Structure 1
Amino acid sequence: MGYFVPDLPPDNPADIVRMPTFERIRYLATHWVDYGFGTAKKTHVGYTVKVLIYAILGITIATVTTGAGAPWGVADWWSEPIVYQKMVIFTVLWEMLGLGASSGPMAFRFSPRVGGHRYWLRSGTLRNPPWPGKVPFTKGGVRTEYDVALYASVILSLVVILVLPGVQSTSMAAVHPEATAGLLNPVLLWPLLVLAVVMGLRDKVTFLAMRAEQYLPAVVFFAALPFTDMIVACKLLMIVIWVGAGVSKFGHHFTKVVPVMMSNAPIMVSKTLKRKLYKNFPNDLRPSPRASGGAHILGTVVEIVAPLIMLFSTNHTITLFAVLLMVAFHITILLTFPVAVPLEWNAMFAFVAAFLFLGFPTWDGYAVSDMSSPWLTAGMIAALCFFPVLGNLRPDLVSFLPSMRQYAGNWASAMWAFAPGAEKKLADKVLMSSPNQVDQLGAAYGYDLAEMLLQKAIAWRAMHTQGPAMLSALSRNLDDIDRYTLREGESMIANLVGWHFGDGHLFNELLLTEIQRRAQFEPGEVVVVWIESQPLHKNYLEYKVIDLGLGVIERGTYTVKDAREPQPWLPDGPIPMNITWTRSSTNESSLTVESR
């Protein structure tokens, strides 16, 4: 891999683009095994520098504004809980501005490289309320001046909390007298919480972008609980996040994630090792036993067992080992540079693992049993587990983020198919956060190369469990799939709503309705296949095919087994799918809105 030059396929991009769809997928999936996206090393260095800026700036603000010590004096501020509190607030601000996850070229953002605030501070852009038919004053799919003001108010609230010093806490002084910088003022936290919830009811995209499911419970604990309860509650929050993510990785989805992710990791330099993650390169690109074992031992088991040891261990050596394991776990994920690049999130969690579980260990009075009431403990665990349990049983009701399915490979997904000229029509009619990716790349590198790189994203998706189902449904519903331009749903949503994190719930039928209202596509111009996550207790997934000019034209199900067995290029044709409903000529011709 070159530092300045990416690793591209050897053939002419124009020839690759002209290949039939499934021949092109095979060609690009095979290239993926050795090179991933083929990103030049300078891009990874740029992301690394960004994470360092995040960490240095965050620690500097957290220490200087509180008097906890100099940023480089770790021994001075390590015992100050307000540093942890302010790092949480700073991380929320960083993500809300669009500087964290979903930024840069590895998140399909080439020029400009940041969405977020550039989109959410503009009225007239798309928004996606979670329950528009049930929550008053949230209907519609257009961002208004009111939404812009809400978003700006959340940003202002975060800034105020960051710049003001802490206040003294009697509950902390009683058990942790060595801390002198105080804690965040609870009076400042409640407005943030209220504003964030109101903003989220108007637009779930901005709410999820602040990683509310990860950080807002901690802010509630900062505002409402005495010191010991706050520390233990934050530990429980971390455990639910880790264990929930670990449990969600059981099954076949995550097995397919690991080899594809490691093929794209710059730390994985050996082609030989990469190829060993697949059964029989280049003819069989299903995960090898090595990949399956690594996924469920180094991934699933570690993410469940190590956090539980950290929570309950009373032995310093054992706790230290478990903490180091989780720190290494997050640093490894960070260094793989996964799609959507949640690098700051992984850096933050590595920091929190050490700060909470070594800085406030169980043997110093911060065990679960040290909470002030067993009823509080039980209620806290039930509240923290509510959305992960509901989201895994009814994924149609909860985003995969509150469901704690980070990088489990099991999330709502979509693939778009554009007839000739339709993608330009979308860009002309819909106010987006940035131009279509093909235009971003094409202006700099030429349109054939740009198109080839975007088609590599289709090959990437085809190597996961959702890809074969999407391609099968499109093959059946398009008159000629080779006539259409396919686009990965994550790349589409990055432009349309200013942020993405691999969740198809960000562009459900409500959002597609608003797009159709503006663009007025003819039947057959734009077709989207949309797949819901697999419920934990079922062996099948639900899908729907949506023609933006007609509405939903097909619904059905397919089994995970049928989706994980074929090669990405579907050499044996479409996978078996149980079609439960198709649109007849008597159905309405408008796009049906199904609120989520």
Structure 2
Amino acid sequence: MGFKTGDFPPVDPARLFEMPYLERIKVLSRHWVEYGFGTPKMTHVIYLAKLLVVYVVGGLLIAALTSGLNPLEFSSWWTEPIFYQKLILWTVFLEALGAGGSWGPLAGHFKPFTCGWRTYLKVDTIRQAPWKRVPLTGGDRRTGVDVLLYIAVIAVLLAGLLLPGTADADLTRLGFDAGRVMPAVAAALAVLMVTLGLRDKVFFLQARGEQYLPAIIFFAAFPIVDMIVALKVLIVAVWFGAGFSKFGKHFSMVVPPMVSNTPWLPSKAVKRMHYKDFPRDLRPSYRGSLLAHVGGTFVEIVTPLVLLFTVNATVALLAAGVMVCFHLFITSTFPLAVPLEWNILFAFAAVFLFLGHPNWAGYGLGDMNPALLALTVVGVLFFPVLGNLRPDLVSFLPSMRQYAGNWASAMWAFAPGAEDRLDQHLVKPSEMTVKQLSALYGPEAAEVVMHQLLGWRAMHSQGRALNSIMINQLGADIDHYTLREAEFSTNCIIGFNFGDGHMHDARFIESLQRRCGFRPGEFVVVWIESQPVHRNHLRYQVIDAALGVVERGVYRAEDAVAEQPWLPNGPIAVDVQWRMRGYERVRYPKAAADREEVQR
């Protein structure tokens, strides 16, 4: 891999569609094992520059200078509550602009890199209300009101960042001189985030409201000691929830592809050792599973609980060091959707909360108001518990299932030429990814890159199921239909996605259909819901954009994880539980003349 050139898969772009679809997946999944996305090193340097210069240095200067602190004196700011408050506001600010997670080429944004504000400031882009029955949130069109709400959120964030801290007697008593972010500003921000989030769940999740909104509420309403302890409870809930979600059959399949995408790891041998028997068997090896569940599950469950309860300084120091290393390692792998700022914030939070304000110095659970503690615990656990029992009701992000492999996900299939309607009829922040790539590398190479994303998805459990169900629907037509990984395609339409299939569910497909008018059979979607914690199966839907949901069924998780990405034994077994009466997919042959005949 060069600085400006990537590692292109070993296929002839001009002959890609001469290969059967599953043969493409076989080649591209094997290529991923050794090269990951094959991204040029220049791309990673751009991400590092953004992370270090914009986020770290920019955040340090803004949080310190606007609070009367010396950014060059570490001891003057690293324990100051207002510094941590403003660092969270700075993170929310960048996320809300679209300059944090889901930014740039590793999230499918090639030109432009940033799509967040290009979506939220543009009337007629698609918005998605989380619940149909909430008054004043109906419809799926962004209006001037939504744009004004977004501007108001950005303005209040800037006010919280730039205004000096307000005096607080408790802070002064505890030896902190810089005050705190004005509670009224934090309260206004919380109200605006909820209001806009009720009209558009995408914005709420892009701003990472499921994690930062509780912190902002603590800023607005809690006395300083209660605020610090509540922030500890919140971050432990995030860590523990993520660790708990990694039990099961999905997570072991996440880590090997993530390690394969690590730019600083040139050794193919090390990457291969995380798979059972490359190139024949790409299921996780013992080493891959060990890294996943010791380096991931164990660390995220045990270490946070140690931090929350220990009163030993040495133990706290070691545990905080483990969490810092944990987040730095994730950052170094450049996972798709690139939540780099989030990981750096959490690494600093481990130090700030548990070493800067240790349990034995008046910041333990017993030092918090019992009523506020109970309210905080119930509040931070409500959505994770509900989301693990009923994943259909809660996004995997509020469910605290970050990067656990247990995601709602989808695959799109377009009849030849039908995908162009997305660019022709939608108001969105950018062209579709394939058009962006075509402008940079040509249409044939662009298709190879799009198939790399399908190969990546096939290395995860849902990918095996998505391909199986799509083969059941399309049959031999799968070899000439245009197939897309839904997460990345949705990115171009709404400006953000973070692995959440709820952003492109049946309601979203209805929004696309109202604007694009696909004919039956032109746009077929296979959509899978996350696995509930108490079930051994996952539910799926087949959606024909013109007709709605045409099939529902289930499949077993163990059947998916037992297969190879290219399904050498054929599609995995599914249990069709309902199918639209009389439904038969309208076929669209490959040749243009044949397509015209079918349409007549």
Range of TM-score over shorter length: over 0.9
Counterpart of 1:119 in structure 2 is 119
Query: Aligned-pair distance for 1:18?
Result: 2.9
Matches within 5 A, 1:25-104: 25-53=25-53, 54-69=55-70, 71-104=71-104
Matches within 5 A, 1:405-424: 405-424=401-420
C-alpha distance after superposition, 1:135-187 (max 9, x if no partner): 0111111111111111111111101111100111112223x12x111011111
Query: Distance in 1 between the 2:65 and 2:456 partners?
Result: 44
Q: Is the 8 A contact 1:17 1:451 kept in 2?
A: no
Matches within 5 A, 1:58-457: 58-69=59-70, 71-132=71-132, 134-174=133-173, 176-177=174-175, 179-372=176-369, 374-457=370-453
Query: Distance in 2 between the 1:291 and 1:586 partners?
Result: 43
Query: Distance in 2 between the 1:162 and 1:283 partners?
Result: 54
Query: Aligned-pair distance for 1:426?
Result: 1.6
SS of structure 1 residue aligned to 2:526? strand
- Of 537, 553, 558, the residue aligned with 2:555 is 558
Query: Distance in 2 between the 1:564 and 1:514 partners?
Result: 33
Query: Distance in 2 between the 1:83 and 1:67 partners?
Result: 10
Query: Distance in 1 between the 2:463 and 2:523 partners?
Result: 18
Query: Distance in 1 between the 2:224 and 2:37 partners?
Result: 47
Query: Aligned-pair distance for 1:378?
Result: 2.0
Query: Distance in 1 between the 2:512 and 2:76 partners?
Result: 53
TM-score (norm 2): 0.96
Query: Aligned-pair distance for 1:578?
Result: 0.5
SS of structure 1 residue aligned to 2:419? helix
Query: Aligned-pair distance for 1:586?
Result: 8.4
Counterpart of 2:522 in structure 1 is 525
C-alpha distance after superposition, 1:82-115 (max 9, x if no partner): 0000001111000000000111000011001111
What code does the residue aligned with 1:357 have? F
Counterpart of 1:592 in structure 2 is none
C-alpha distance after superposition, 1:45-75 (max 9, x if no partner): 1100100121111111111111022x22211
SS of structure 2 residue aligned to 1:79? coil
What code does the residue aligned with 1:100 have? G
What code does the residue aligned with 1:391 have? G
Query: Distance in 1 between the 2:266 and 2:301 partners?
Result: 29
Query: Distance in 2 between the 1:440 and 1:346 partners?
Result: 29
Query: Aligned-pair distance for 1:375?
Result: 2.8
Query: Distance in 2 between the 1:72 and 1:498 partners?
Result: 37
Query: Distance in 1 between the 2:263 and 2:408 partners?
Result: 27
Indicate the RMSD between aligned Cα atoms, in angstroms. Answer: 1.2
Counterpart of 2:473 in structure 1 is 477
Query: Aligned-pair distance for 1:39?
Result: 0.6
Q: How many residues align?
A: 583
Counterpart of 1:514 in structure 2 is 511
C-alpha distance after superposition, 1:458-491 (max 9, x if no partner): 0110110001111111111125111211100111
What code does the residue aligned with 1:39 have? T
TM-score (norm 1): 0.96
C-alpha distance after superposition, 1:168-208 (max 9, x if no partner): 1112223x12x111011111111111111110000000000
C-alpha distance after superposition, 1:318-362 (max 9, x if no partner): 110100100000000001000000100001111111011100001
Which moved further from structure 2: 119-128 or 9-18? 9-18
C-alpha distance after superposition, 1:116-143 (max 9, x if no partner): 00111000000010002x1011111111
Query: Distance in 2 between the 1:409 and 1:185 partners?
Result: 39
Query: Aligned-pair distance for 1:433?
Result: 1.6
Q: Is the 8 A contact 1:37 1:456 kept in 2?
A: yes
Q: Is the 8 A contact 1:128 1:507 kept in 2?
A: no
Query: Aligned-pair distance for 1:311?
Result: 1.1
Identity in percent? 53
Query: Aligned-pair distance for 1:17?
Result: 4.0
Q: Is the 8 A contact 2:171 2:177 kept in 1?
A: no
Q: Is the 8 A contact 2:409 2:462 kept in 1?
A: yes
